[in-house]
Amino acid sequence: MYRLLLGTALIFRFGRASPTSAPDSGEISLRDLAEPRFFGAAANTTFLFHDQNYTRLAETQFSIFTPENEMKWENIEPFPNVFNFTAADEIVRFSEFSHAKVRGHNFMWGNQLPPWVNDSLSATELDRVLKNHIDKIMNHYRGKLYAWDVINELISDTPNATFKDIIWTRKFGEEAMPKALVYARQADPQPRLYINDYGIEGINGKSNTLFEVVKSFKEDGILLDGIGFQCHLTLGQVPPDLQENLQRFADLDLDVAITELDINLRGPANDTALAQQAKDYEEIVNACVAVKRCVSVTVWGVSDDHSWIPHGEVLPWDGEKRPKPAFFAIAEAFGESTSSG
């Protein structure tokens, strides 16, 4: 009943957003409706403070931010032991001003590495480089970050293979992921440490591989706090077993989080497509709120004009920063959770 009443109230007050009729979302705060969970976005300093409407949405709608690129290795340590914290610091300061959390992103990934981090380094040299990278960054942000995506996208997409063939696994083998987690925990015991990946949203071969890896980590006493499920999805493709999958990882005494959510229309933003997109967003949020250890839902960007997918119309706000049906569906899902919690 509450769901029906909330949905009716939202439609009555604002109408259902469409490409030609877009209500103002200013009176609805998703960050407030999401409590005690976080509702977040990937923040990008190219737009933050340079686009007034982008900044206004960031201030009012989100309670956790992930730097979209500012903490990736090529940007934050472009040369050996030369760190550039300027852009990342801007996001951290903005988050503090907005009373929002920050999720660090990331330490161990096969992409967006500077040229000097390459296979010419010996395993011993790369080990020293990795530890120094984690130590310096975590010490710089000590006490300021809620969580870190320590490991990003290391699980293989190939059946019968556990890890991707990238510099970290070539040099360290199966010790790559434990090594990064141990160094992160030694550097700062406070932030929640995550493994983050794509293609693991449903129960499938890749998520089964990750599940077994994580289970072995827990059995071996390797400290890990959570799993991030990216959820870069296409219209109508939300896995039906998403909630069940989140729950099985939570049952390993882990937090789970939706970390990089967007829904690609792959076509025109007509009323039918936008309605399906709203349904998809609502399904994902519902799956999270149904799992006690699901702590956050983060969309990967703020509005369609600033998404990493330039023509997918993927986010809850359009290119004019107007709320789409997905916005109201998210509000409804979080609102129902609040009423029943």
Strand-pair partners of 192: 147
Confidence category of residue 337, pLDDT binned at 50, 70, 90? low
Task: Answer whether 195's CB lies under 8 Å from 210's CB.
Answer: yes
* 4 has pLDDT over 50: no
Helix and strand tally (H, E) in the chain? 12, 9
User: Residues 6 or more apart from 321 whose CB is under 8 A from it?
Assistant: 53, 54, 56, 57, 302, 303
Q: What is the pLDDT of residue 268?
A: 85
pLDDT of 20 reads: 31
Query: Which pLDDT belongs to residue 15?
Result: 37
Q: What is the pLDDT of residues 246-280, one digit of tens each?
A: 999 999 999 999 999 999 998 888 999 999 999 99
pLDDT tier, 6 (very low <50, low <70, confident <90, very high otherwise): very low
Interval 95-146: pLDDT, tens? 999 999 999 999 999 999 999 999 999 999 999 999 999 999 999 999 999 9
**Can you give the pLDDT at residue 338?**
52
Given the residues 153, 201, 283, 332, select the one marked as catalytic: 153
Task: Reply yes or no on whether the pLDDT at 197 is more than 80.
Answer: yes
Q: pLDDT tens digits for 22-74?
A: 345 558 999 999 999 999 999 999 999 899 999 999 999 999 999 999 999 99
Quote the pLDDT of residue 310.
85
What is the pLDDT averaged over residues 316-330? 96
Average pLDDT of the residues in 218-236: 96
Ramachandran bin of 67, using left for φ above 0, alpha for ψ from -120 to 50, beta for the remaining angles = beta
Residue 19 DSSP SS3 = coil
pLDDT reported for residue 1: 31
Ranges assigned E (strand) in the chain? 38-43, 64-67, 101-108, 147-152, 192-197, 226-229, 232-234, 255-264, 294-299
Q: Is the pTM of this model over 0.85?
A: yes
pLDDT for the residue 26: 54
Question: Poorest-confidence range of 9-18, 51-60, 306-315?
Answer: 9-18
Question: What domains are defined for the chain?
Answer: 2-340 (3.20.20.80)
Comparing 231-235, 266-270, 335-339, the range with the smallest average pLDDT is 335-339
Tokens (6 digits) for 81: 């032991």
Q: In whole angstroms, how far apart are CA 246 and each of 124, 258, 260, 295?
A: 36, 9, 15, 11
153 in catalytic set: yes
Q: Which of 68, 77, 201, 260 is catalytic?
A: 260
Q: Residue 182, SS3?
A: helix
pLDDT of residue 8 exceeding 70? no
Check pLDDT > 80 for residue 331.
yes
Distance CA 338, CA 32 (A): 10
What does pLDDT average to over the chain? 91
| Close Cβ partners of 86 (under 8 Å, ≥ 6 residues apart) | none
CA 17 to chain centre: 25
Handedness of CA 290, 38, 34, 313 (dihedral sign): negative
304-313 LR contacts (CB < 8 Å, sep 24+)? 306/44, 306/46, 306/47, 306/51, 306/54, 307/262, 308/68, 309/262, 309/264, 312/262, 312/264, 312/265, 312/266, 313/264, 313/265, 313/269, 313/273, 313/277
Share of the chain above pLDDT 90, in %: 87
Task: Report how far residue 66's alpha carbon sits from residue 187's, in angstroms, rounded to the nearest whole number.
Answer: 20
- How much is the average pLDDT of 308-314? 90
* More confidently predicted of 13 and 191: 191
